[in-house]
Amino acid sequence: MNDTGAVKEALRRQQIETPSWAYGNSGTRFKVFAQQGVPRTPQEKIDDAAQVHRFTGVAPRVAVHIPWDRVDDYAALAAYAEERGVRIGAVNTNVFQDDDYMLGSVTNPDPAVRRKALDHLLEAVDIMDQTGSRDLKLWFSDGTNYPGQDDIRARQDRLAEALAAVYERLGDDQRFLLEYKLFEPAFYMTDVPDWGASYAHCVKLGPKAQVVVDTGHHAPGTNIEFIVAFLLREGKLGGFDFNSRFYADDDLMVGAADPFQLFRIMYEVVRGGGYEPDANVAFMLDQCHNVEPKIQGQIRSVMNVQEATAKALLVDREALAAAQAAGDVLEANAVFMDAYNTDVRPLLAELREEMGLHPDPVAAYKASGYYERVVEERKDGQAAGWGA
Ligand code: LRH
Ligand code: MN
Ligand code: MN
């Protein structure tokens, strides 16, 4: 796509979902650093997410994580979000924080623990009914630390049973996204370690089961764009948890560690039709801002995804196809790199102005005084944190 108008049009309809947990305090197992002005309630997280949308224009949804965002009335929470110009997006489940889950949740050898975990997943679908959310995001920390600790195959059977029960409960307009992760917190064997395991379970269940790619969940050196291309071709790419990493599941700002990788991923998304609205690929962020300001970190991340998308849309597909067909390796690579090396910031600034936004979202946010206001307003009470 080389016509700037068409590129802008495509960028205008981009939707990037931010995670409620990115607005709360977070850290590592060594220290959670408390920041000022951090939200104390799910409503205040939504207030902050609305700021990201206000200044970027492309972040209209916020994902929730249950029980971190537990409220009495989820329909009221959805209405609250709408009043602030955003919507509730994916409902993320949490079967990793109770003592009961030490040996696993849905794969636990104890049927009572499995039942408890499944009940939580089903409750999350009830919540989706109230928030109007389409996506249920399932991530299981399940796994083992030592060879022989539990039966790998039996755990797969238990997992399949739970997934089937959740699938059964989904409404017509709902689906689940099964997230894989190589390791952590389990260090020997994880029950959904890679896209293949997620894909196989999803294929068996049907179209309402899709794979979600968290970009921080692979072994170093994994070709993530290949996975994206493959899943899209199979109609099984449900979405992304975007973040970046240098070493493991670092949850740093997307596009910070390896912007070229983000571009390559977005190119495969565009190439595979995943950017079309009816492809239903959810572009979500899953990040933690341990040392940087949170709302500003989210704004920066949204802009990083926008920039990678703009470059992906700018790839001269015709020239690329011609070079590929001719076996012209260097020309094909040059066409690809041309798009990556384009400075798309002026184009995006122009687009924002056309959308009635400030061309520089970070500067506009800083000048808005929102941060100073919430630091003052949120002085008292308990700040929400990762896990709170
Ligand atoms: C697991 C994960 C998953 C969780 C989130 C907090 O590492 O990526 O998506 O829900 O982190
Ligand atoms: Mn994730
Ligand atoms: Mn993760």
Indicate which residue's Cα is closest to atom 1 of ligand 1.
Answer: 139
pLDDT tens digits, one per residue of 289-326: 999 999 999 999 999 999 999 999 999 999 999 999 99
pLDDT at residue 388, rounded to an integer: 56
DSSP secondary structure letter of residue 251? -
Distance separating alpha carbons of residues 244 and 258, to the nearest angstrom: 7
Verify whether ligand 1 is closer than 6 Å to residue 141 (CB atom).
no
Query: For 104-163, how does the pLDDT look when each residue is reduced to its tens digit (9 = 90+)?
Result: 999 999 999 999 999 999 999 999 999 999 999 999 999 999 999 999 999 999 999 999
Give the whole-angstrom CA distance, residue 299 versus residue 286: 13
251 Cα–ligand 1 center, Å: 9
d(CA 108, CA 102): 9
pLDDT at 385 over 60: yes
Over range 159-182, report the average pLDDT. 99
With a 6 Å cutoff on the Cβ, whether 249 touches ligand 1 is yes
Ligand 1 lined by 142 (C-beta under 6 Å): no
Whether ipTM exceeds 0.85: yes
Whether ligand 1 lies within 6 angstroms of the CB of 251 is answered as no
Report the percent of the chain where pLDDT is more than 90: 97
Q: Which ligand is nearest to the CA of 22?
A: 1
Q: CB of 139 closer than 6 A to ligand 1?
A: yes
What pLDDT is attached to residue 1?
56
Residue with tokens 């990115």, as numbered in its chain: 22
Taking only the tens place, the pLDDT of each residue in 343-371 is 999 999 999 999 999 999 999 999 999 99
Sign, Cα dihedral of 7, 12, 14, 20: positive
**Ligand number, closest to the Cα atom of 184:** 1
Angle at 321 between CA 327 and CA 350, to 5 degrees: 135
What gap in Å lies between CA 124 and CA 92, rounded to an integer?
8
CB 182 within 8 A of CB 196: no
Q: Which amino acid is at 373?
A: R
CA–CA gap between residue 145 and residue 29 (Å, rounded): 18
275 pLDDT more than 90: yes
List residues bridging with 210 in a β-sheet.
177
**DSSP string covering 61-80:** EEEEETTTT--S-HHHHHHH
Asked if the model's pLDDT at residue 277 lies above 90, the reply is no
Residue 247 Ramachandran class (φ > 0 left, ψ -120 to 50 alpha, else beta): alpha
- 90 — pLDDT class (breaks 50, 70, 90): very high
Cβ atoms 65, 21 nearer than 8 A: yes
38-47: pLDDT as tens digits: 999 999 999 9
pLDDT digits (tens, 9 = 90+) for 224-245: 999 999 999 999 999 999 999 9
Q: Within the chain, what is the greatest distance between any pair of CA atoms?
A: 66
Radius of gyration over alpha carbons of the chain, in Å?
21
- The 3-state secondary structure of 207-246 reads CCEEEEEECCCCCCCCCHHHHHHHHHHCCCEEEEEECECC
- pLDDT of 381 reads 86
Say which residues have a Cβ less than 8 Å from residue 126's Cβ, sequence separation at least 6: none
Model confidence at 286: pLDDT above 60? yes
Residue linked to tokens 């894989």:
180
The confidence score (pLDDT) of residue 3 equals 86
**What is the reported pLDDT for 2?**
65
Provide the residues around ligand 2 (an ion) whose CB is within 5 A.
Answer: 214, 241, 286
Of 139, 138, 23, 17, nearest to 89 by C-alpha is 17
Give the phi and the psi of residue 353 in degrees, each rounded to 5.
-65, -40
Report domain extents, the chain: 4-377
Ligand nearest to the CA of 250: 3
Going from the Cα of 352 to the center of ligand 2, the distance in angstroms, rounded, reads 29
Of 101, 100, 105, 75, which Cα lies nearest the Cα of 87?
75
> What's the rounded Cα separation, in Å, for the pair 44 and 210?
31
Per CATH, which fold does 4-377 belong to? Answer: TIM Barrel (3.20.20)
pLDDT range class, residue 387, cuts 50, 70, 90: low
